[in-house]
Amino acid sequence: MGARRLLREMRVAWAIGEKDMRVYYLKPPSLMFGILFPFSIFLSFVIGRNMPINRAIPVLIAQTLFFASSSIGPVTIPLERRIKTFDRFLSAPVSLMTVLLGKTIAGFIYGIGISVIPILLGVAFFQSSITDLAALTAGMILSASAFAAMGIMFASLPGQGPGQVLMPLNFVRIPLLFISGVFIPVKDLPAWGQVLSVFSPLTHTIELVRGGLGEENFFETPVSIAVLFVYLAIFLFAGMYFHKINQRRE
């Protein structure tokens, strides 16, 4: 693909992302699964425990990144497929990857926008300090991208509406919380749990966020960055593969 073509595809991806922001950010499922859900889980986790709030901040950041970024795709794609606006992308002179990247941008910005709030609150009111800006930035950018692509991958499975996609997605998202060092740090997990945690993208989000806010890491920063990169690619290509199956079936 030439540079001109690439630039064109990027402009179209941005147009798709921008349209999704405008249309879907304030839809009830986006607000419920992207904002209410992670904050509720966080509160049920911290209330009644003697955990210093600045130690809980990385958990909240990781959870909001995880839930907010991965909720936009499952809201937009099934709805657009049902009302046939998704056909507009399939009949437009752009590649399927560009369409999915556009959808990823919408999830990415949603996740970043919401997870910045606990960072600001932590820094302003709860003595959190950013000690490794590069790790924090890389963690947030890669996690928001990977989770947005994860949402799109689930949304690309044949389904009728957002509810039907969000259910299997939550079936995966919630158990991941238990093996990713969110509730129990990875170092305190049993050996099998530590092995399992390597394969969870959320582990590497919380590792990078904790590292960025001056806490101890279990995995080296480059390892977490590499794992998130791999997941981003897997989710995007799996999403594309599912769409191609849909095109053959529909």
Partner 1 sequence: MEMAVRAINLTKYYDELLAVDHVNFEVKTGEVFGFLGPNGAGKTTTVRMLTGISKPTEGTAEIMGYDIQKQSIQAKELMGIVPDISNVYTDLSAWNNLIFTGRLYDIPKAEREERAKELLELFGLYDRRDDMVDDFSKGMKRRVCIAMALMNKSSILFLDEPTTGLDVQSVLTIRDLIRKLNREDLTIFLTTHNMEEANQMCDRVAIINKGNLIAIDTPEMLKRTIKELQSVEVSFQNGKRDLTKDLAKFSDATHVVKHGDKYRIYTDAPSTILSVVWKYAETKGLKVITVNTLGPSLEDVFVKLTGVKPEAGSKKRKGKVRRRFGF
Q: Which residue ranges make up the site for partner 1 (CB under 8 A)?
A: 8, 11-12, 15-16, 19, 22-23, 83-85, 87-95, 244, 247-250
98 or 197: whose CB is closer to partner 1? Answer: 98
Q: At 105, which amino acid appears?
A: I
109 or 202: whose CB is closer to partner 1? Answer: 109
Minimum distance of partner 1 from residue 106's CB (angstroms): 13
44 or 91: whose CB is closer to partner 1? Answer: 91
Enter the tokens of residue 219.
Answer: 């995995």
Minimum distance of partner 1 from residue 108's CB (angstroms): 19
Minimum distance of partner 1 from residue 8's CB (angstroms): 5
Q: Report the candidate in 105, 135, 96 with the shortest Cα–Cα distance to residue 221.
A: 135
Minimum distance of partner 1 from residue 11's CB (angstroms): 6
Minimum distance of partner 1 from residue 184's CB (angstroms): 42
Backbone region of residue 127 per phi and psi (left: phi > 0; alpha: psi in -120 to 50; beta: other values): left
Query: What gap in Å lies between CA 249 and CA 241, rounded to an integer?
Result: 13
Minimum distance of partner 1 from residue 4's CB (angstroms): 10
Minimum distance of partner 1 from residue 22's CB (angstroms): 7
Backbone angles phi, psi at 221, to 5 degrees: -55, -45
Q: Report the candidate in 230, 204, 231, 234 with the shortest Cα–Cα distance to residue 218.
A: 204
21 or 32: whose CB is closer to partner 1? Answer: 21
26 or 191: whose CB is closer to partner 1? Answer: 26
Tell me the CA distances in angstroms from 247 to 45, 154, 157, 161, 250, one per residue in order: 42, 16, 12, 17, 5
CB atoms closer than 10 angstroms to residue 14 = 14
19 or 55: whose CB is closer to partner 1? Answer: 19
87 or 220: whose CB is closer to partner 1? Answer: 87
